[in-house]
Amino acid sequence: MTEVAGLPPGMTVELSRATVLPGKSDEADRWMSMLRARHAECVATLDRERMAVEAVFRSRADDGTEYLWWFSLRGSDGATLDSSPFAIDADHEAQARRTKEPGWLEAEPQVVFLPPPVRAAVETWAVREHP
């Protein structure tokens, strides 16, 4: 993997793509609706994950294939979903199994641009001792 210019030490940046299963567009709608409706619960999980930024995008290719894209900027030692005590994470994982093909296509990051105040805030949040 190429060194990611501008990425603070102890951090990970990811752009991951999942393919929505054929015929599961409505299920993807329900998944995204659930995440929007339970936004505060989702935000409450970010501390243990050391997640500074997480965003979800959706796209459709010319052939009709749908994709969900996850962008994240987090501390490298953040906890994972599979060890989460939060109900929203279990519901999120269950919805993923119903909606998307297994696995992710991972883009290879090249460069991150963070102005100094944002970089300081991200490092303070995501690269720190666990409580």
Q: With contact defined as beta carbons under 8 Å apart, do 22 and 116 qualify?
A: no
The tens place of each residue's pLDDT in the chain, 131 residues long, gives 578 999 999 999 999 999 999 999 999 999 999 999 999 999 999 999 999 999 999 999 999 999 999 999 999 999 988 889 999 999 999 999 999 999 999 999 999 999 999 999 999 989 876 55
Phi and psi at 22, nearest 5°, equal -55, 135
From CA 126, how far away is CA 10, in angstroms rounded? Answer: 8
3 state SS of 2: coil
DSSP bridge pairs for 58:
68
Q: With contact defined as beta carbons under 8 Å apart, do 52 and 126 qualify?
A: yes
Q: Which pLDDT value is given to residue 3?
A: 86
Domain ranges of the chain: 11-126
Q: The whole model's pTM is what?
A: 0.91
Q: What are the pLDDT digits (tens) for 84-114?
A: 999 999 999 999 999 999 999 999 999 999 9
CATH class (in words) of the domain with range 11-126:
alpha beta
